Amino acid sequence: MEFSEKEIAPLASLDVWEDDVLQRYPEEDTTFKKTKDEYRNYDNPERDTVREFYRLNHKYQTYDFVKQKQAEFLKFDKKEMPIWDAFDFLNSLVDDSDPDTSLDQWQHLLQTSEAIRADGHPDWFVLTGLLHDMGKVLCLFGEPQWAVVGDTFPVGCKHSDKIVYSEYFEANPDAHDERFNTKYGVYSPNCGLRNVDMSWGHDEYLYQMVKDNLPEPALYMIRYHSFYSQHRENAYEHLMDEHDHEMFEWVKKFNPYDLYSKLPVPPDTEALKPYYKELLKKYLPATLKF
């Protein structure tokens, strides 16, 4: 399927989606000091781009689209590089439009991981903070923004009305396909999320990349950190099993660091490099395949 330039990049930057999530789920935990009102207030044109982003996401993220993207990207044959080079590659995803901070992608990730480390969490949790958005490199392979970021949700079953802008699913072919538009669709009650296909994006891509290298709680954080309709709205209890509920306590623990650690204070990158190089060496191979 071919998309126009406007369909590929409806947002000024990927951060616009994250800021929109902040407006929906303002900070409650006083550990994280920046509140909802301190973030950018969108004027109407910017709100229009957010709506357009979700319209495209909800229209095109079908069960078949997800299967196609899995087949295309999970071969990991696009690029291979040392992990440190991968951060430089991610940094080429430039965002000059965000007035909240002048930090680059690498510094955003460092802020998240350093907030986690400051609270004394295990080193694999710290590493998860550093890696969790690495999958955004999908944009550098030409993927549309709505197939890289956005709230994730199960495909192959009825879309929950708890998903943001759920009315846009009316244009999704799956909403009118009897195989996919019932409560359980292609799944069975409480089958477990490991048996459920999620909408395609940076979460699933990175999970598949590192699934053999990190502890299971870290993998849940990576795979489901954008699944807001569940970890904030409990919309998909009917697909989850007991193990999912246990692991989602980790997802909920990670979420505040993901959303609220974006502060305009640059981390001392050079001073932190030795610690993170050792941490990466402990858990990941010398090179990553993208």
More confident residue, 213 or 99: 213
* pLDDT of 32 over the 90 cut: no
Confidence of residue 34 (pLDDT cuts 50, 70, 90): very low
* Nearest residue to 168 (alpha-carbon basis) of 11, 65, 62, 13: 62
* pLDDT of 39 over the 50 cut: no
Confidence of residue 14 (pLDDT cuts 50, 70, 90): confident
pTM over 0.85: yes
- Residue 218: the pLDDT is 98
Specify whether the CB–CB gap between 206 and 134 falls below 8 A: yes
Structure tokens at 184: 């359980």
- Residue 10: the pLDDT is 87
Helix axes 269-283, 105-118, angle to 10 degrees: 80
163 CB-near residues (< 8 Å, 6+ apart):
58, 151, 153, 169, 229, 235
Q: Mean pLDDT throughout 172-190?
A: 98
Domain tally, the chain: 1
> What is the signed CA dihedral for 240, 127, 88, 57, rounded to 10 degrees?
20
Domain that holds residue 10: 5-289
Q: Which of 65-79, 94-108, 202-216, 243-257 has the lowest mean pLDDT?
A: 94-108
